[in-house]
């Protein structure tokens, strides 16, 4: 009889040792976290924060501490006189009222139109719905500066120059808001609206009693972005208005810079005016910031 063949034993993959991972607080992990996370975050924060901080600090400096070769960060003799002159040299209260009217009226109409359009694109059946949505996406990609000249010819032709409604009218459509709300509405469960339809609810009732309440974070996000863009809009109000009675705050800053006595030495006054312009936006942002992340991520996944 021949000898039996030798048996070869092969180690199973299960017996392989598990990969060695670095400890959570090991030196390698800490270096990766700091270099790949905290350092870029700190650099980006400084790039955004330092100009704003310098603007606020300069608004409390007299002109002799701004136009000087002896640079100082903290003002030696802080003064609020720049704010007094910024609010009295030009009709600052009128500018603030105009910006408030333009921002809140324009934003309210834009957000309402975005909600209605997004609901129609998702829940209403009508021909060429997808074609209309593609046209909205095309409008989202086109820079708004392209439409400045046609808008000026149209608004000036119908008597809208130097009027608040002439500032508001051309920007009432918002492709971004429509796109964001449509993407979110597509994630809503169909059974929710089917139950409301069975109960006899029409489109209007379904929109304002079901869809809008559950979409509050997304709507708040669209409202915040719209309010900030309307408040900070500069190019269009500058073109369509040339009278102080209808100027908004960003345009009023230009008038403040060019006013008599401020040319060349009014940087502190201009900084004070800029601070007064951004404070309302910061307040609105602080009120709505908790909706931003949830609102932007709600529409990120569609069915």
For the stretch 136-190, pLDDT in tens is 888 888 888 888 889 999 999 999 999 999 999 988 888 888 988 998 888 888 7
Three-state secondary structure call for residue 173: coil
More confident residue, 215 or 193: 215
Examine residue 5 and state whether it is found in any structural domain, yes or no.
no
The DSSP code sequence of 16-45 is: SPPPP---TTSHHHHHHHIIIIIHHHHHHH
Q: Is residue 34 part of a domain?
A: no
- pLDDT value of position 137: 86
**What CATH number is associated with residue 105?**
1.10.3720.10
> Which of these, 272, 233, 230, 231, lies nearest to 92 by C-alpha position?
272
What was the pLDDT predicted at 298?
A: 53
Q: Is residue 12 part of a domain?
A: no
Confidence at residue 264, expressed as pLDDT on a 0 to 100 scale:
53
Residue 64 maps to a domain: no
Answer whether residue 123 is part of any domain.
yes
At residue 117 the predicted structure's pLDDT band, cuts being 50, 70 and 90, is very high
Is residue 6 over pLDDT 70? Answer: no
Is-contact 250 232, C-beta < 8 A?
A: yes
Q: What is the mean pLDDT of residues 5-30?
A: 58
* 158: in domain: yes
Domain total in the chain: 1
Q: Is the pLDDT of residue 302 over 50?
A: no
- For all residues of the chain together, what is the average pLDDT? 81
If we measure between CA atoms, which residue out of 89, 58, 61 comes closest to residue 257? 89
- What is the percent of the chain where pLDDT is above 90? 17
pLDDT at position 99, please? 93
**Cα-Cα-Cα-Cα dihedral sign, residues 164, 169, 174, 175:** negative
Is pLDDT larger for residue 182 or for residue 266? Answer: 182
pLDDT at 110 over 90: yes
**Domain boundaries, position 207:** 83-298
Report if residue 232 sits inside a domain. Answer: yes
Alpha-carbon distance of 251 to 240, in angstroms, equals: 11
pLDDT at 205: 85
> How does pLDDT run across 226-259, given as a tens digit for each residue?
998 899 898 999 999 988 889 999 888 887 776 6
262 or 221, greater pLDDT: 221
Task: Record the pTM.
Answer: 0.77
> What's the pLDDT at 299?
47
Q: How many CB atoms lie within 10 A of CB 290?
A: 11
Q: E-strand spans in 236-295?
A: none
282 within some domain: yes
Q: How far apart are CA 289 and CA 267, in angstroms?
A: 31
Residue 161's pLDDT is 92
């Amino acid at each position: 009889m021949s000898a039996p063949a030798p048996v070869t034993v092969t180690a199973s993959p299960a017996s392989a040792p598990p990969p060695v991972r670095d400890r959570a607080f090991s030196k390698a992990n800490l270096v990766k976290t700091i270099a790949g996370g905290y350092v870029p975050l700190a650099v980006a924060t400084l790039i955004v924060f330092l100009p704003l901080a310098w603007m606020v600090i300069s608004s409390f400096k007299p002109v002799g501490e701004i136009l000087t070769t002896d640079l100082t960060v903290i003002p030696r003799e802080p003064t609020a006189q720049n704010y007094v002159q910024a609010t009295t040299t030009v009709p600052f209260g009128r500018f603030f009222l105009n910006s408030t009217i333009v921002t809140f009226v324009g934003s309210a109409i834009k957000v309402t139109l975005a909600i209605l359009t997004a609901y129609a694109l998702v829940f209403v059946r009508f021909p060429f719905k997808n074609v209309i949505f593609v046209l909205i996406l095309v409008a989202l990609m086109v820079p708004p500066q392209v439409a400045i000249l046609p808008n000026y010819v149209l608004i000036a032709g119908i008597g809208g120059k130097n009027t608040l409604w002439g500032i508001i009218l051309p920007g009432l459509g918002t492709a971004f808001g429509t796109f964001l709300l449509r993407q979110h509405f597509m994630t809503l469960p169909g059974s929710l609206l089917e139950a409301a339809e069975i109960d006899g609810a029409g489109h209007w009732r379904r929109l304002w009693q079901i869809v809008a309440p559950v979409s509050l974070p997304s709507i708040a996000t669209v409202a915040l972005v719209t309010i900030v863009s309307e408040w900070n809009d500069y190019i269009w109000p500058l073109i369509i208005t040339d009278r102080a009675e209808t100027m908004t705050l960003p345009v009023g800053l230009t008038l403040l810079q060019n006013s008599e006595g401020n040319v060349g030495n009014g940087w502190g006054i201009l900084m004070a005016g800029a601070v007064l312009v951004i404070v309302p936006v910061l307040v609105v942002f602080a009120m709505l910031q908790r909706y931003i992340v949830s609102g932007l991520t709600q529409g990120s996944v569609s069915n």
